[in-house]
Structure 1
């Protein structure tokens, strides 16, 4: 395979490269948007930015690497109270701001990868997900969470999750007023990378983004590919309810990427059993603004060079977002 030195040894009953080489991955398109796709999402954004987020800053929980971490909570759409963390530099003025999303396992604390000096960051846990946005009416397991409300575009939980990130940006500006006048970026991995194109496409507050192994790209293709994790749950549901594709058309990350005009860095994998690479590359290929690609050997799969690869990805993201 061009671009993949050696296919890793694995025990999956399917090929996590799905038979694609790099050239093939770079040709995967985005599905055509429904006629009212943009209208649907701009209305969703208007509802989110109209929310009185009422952020609450908790006490300092720890300090590390020149940053002070507080617990934080704020209100998102449907009155949902989102929890997470806020980090601010211990010393020095704030010159940048970020919203950093997480993967489908949620997070039990912030994972600082790209450390840009002078940055204030909000680290939300999307609704229903660990550790700080659990709710008795929402499933916390990824394979159940990904199906919650999937019967209609108005109720599908991913719409609320995108709104949680928009409301996080509002909460950040209220908690740290200095961030109103500095550059705001978005970073998301896997689940967070998949909702990232929606966050970036319809909110002009964000200057740039970084997406790593983004999920939810090209659903019509993705639903034909065997995989693990949340994707498997959606694929199984589609087999019983093919009409769900009409709903998923509004939540396709590659489709949303066609509306993104700001600079975006993407780390996409050649081998990934959880998020099929064709979907990841569909997101990158569809981006409508300046973009940069970092090709990962694997995603959602441990290998001997993983640490070195992660370090190289972090360096590439840092260079892109500080250029």
Structure 2
């Protein structure tokens, strides 16, 4: 078969090439301490979109650094409580999408939460306040400042905070909360389950935000990763700080969060993916120590993987 990356037998052993910061665990422990000190000031606003068998709300809460974060929340009617819940995370620069495509889980008696990432295409705020450029990309946002200013740090924390809010809802069973998403949403699914290890099951698809140096080595710092090339061209054109830059990016590299996951994992990947290369995905998968399985699509790239959404629903329904 044609290859865009390593042979599969090598992918199954691949551990990544990006450097892991020496204080990575302390960094995220400090970040979680900051998150726990935040008063979320939760607000539920009934949506203009409603259906007979569920209640639809716009959920707002305050995240780290004072940003007001938005998520869609669907609460099923006339089902036993507490019941399971699903968290959904969207692709890069996107938003939480339509209400309609989330109703299948409500029909099953599951609460459903869909996050708008701060500063992207939805209703969540980006409070800014970092030094250096804000050119296009969120990967490089804060890269010229201290590591605690990296924007994806705050976005990762938003996912964990949403999970915690969901688990505190009286109608939700905190032992049956699950997460899913593709591309950036796959990365946020990994980050959420790592930072909130009570997530019971997770279904990431071709996750973004992993093994940045490998992306660079493959000359795939374009499309979703184009800002890596932009940053070097503007701020380190001779690559004199290359190791320093990739090490700082290591704080928001999901492969290094993967070992914190305790939930069961269903992972989807296409071996022809040139947006989020397979090796960067295997760098994450191979570090997960909880029960896991990967569904591999040899002829598919960064696109809809046939039947994977159905597999995900069946996976979430399994006791």
TM-score by length of 1: 0.83
Q: Please state how far the C-alpha of 1:46 moved relative to its aligned partner.
A: 2.3
1:112 and 2:102 are equivalent in the alignment: yes
| 1:85 aligned to which of 57, 68, 72 | 72
Partner of 1:128: 119
| 1:102 aligned to which of 90, 95, 108 | 90
> Aligned ranges for residues 287-306 of structure 1 at < 5 Å?
287-296=288-297, 297-301=299-303, 306=304
Comparing 31-40 with 267-276, greater Cα deviation is found at 31-40
Distance (Å, rounded) in 1 between the aligned partners of 2:5 and 2:27:
35
| 2:196 aligned to which of 189, 192, 203 | 203
1:241-295 Cα offsets, whole Å, 9 max, x none, are: 5231121111211121133232111111111222112111221122111101011
Structure 2 segments unaligned to the other structure (5+ residues): none
Q: Please state how far the C-alpha of 1:64 moved relative to its aligned partner.
A: 5.2
**3-state SS in 1 of match to 2:282:** helix
Partner of 1:18: 4
1:51-103 Cα offsets, whole Å, 9 max, x none, are: 21111111133235944322121111111100121011133124102221111
Distance (Å, rounded) in 2 between the aligned partners of 1:207 and 1:50:
25
Structure 1 segments unaligned to the other structure (5+ residues): 2-6, 8-16
**3-state SS in 1 of match to 2:314:** helix
Distance (Å, rounded) in 1 between the aligned partners of 2:90 and 2:264:
20
Q: How many matched pairs? A: 300
Given that residues 138 and 145 in structure 1 are in contact (C-alpha distance below 8 angstroms), is that contact kept between their aligned partners in structure 2?
Answer: no
Partner of 1:268: 269
**3-state SS in 1 of match to 2:193:** helix
**3-state SS in 1 of match to 2:137:** helix
Comparing 155-164 with 41-50, greater Cα deviation is found at 41-50
Given that residues 142 and 149 in structure 2 are in contact (C-alpha distance below 8 angstroms), is that contact kept between their aligned partners in structure 1?
Answer: yes
1:217-253 Cα offsets, whole Å, 9 max, x none, are: 2222122123332312124424635231121111211
1:152-207 Cα offsets, whole Å, 9 max, x none, are: 32111010001111221233345x32225441112122112123333222323312
Given that residues 63 and 69 in structure 1 are in contact (C-alpha distance below 8 angstroms), is that contact kept between their aligned partners in structure 2?
Answer: yes
**3-state SS in 1 of match to 2:275:** coil
1:106-125 Cα offsets, whole Å, 9 max, x none, are: 22435439737221122111
**3-state SS in 2 of match to 1:272:** coil
Distance (Å, rounded) in 2 between the aligned partners of 1:142 and 1:224:
22
Partner of 2:45: 58
Comparing 50-59 with 222-231, greater Cα deviation is found at 222-231
Partner of 2:311: 316
Partner of 2:209: 216
Given that residues 114 and 314 in structure 1 are in contact (C-alpha distance below 8 angstroms), is that contact kept between their aligned partners in structure 2?
Answer: no
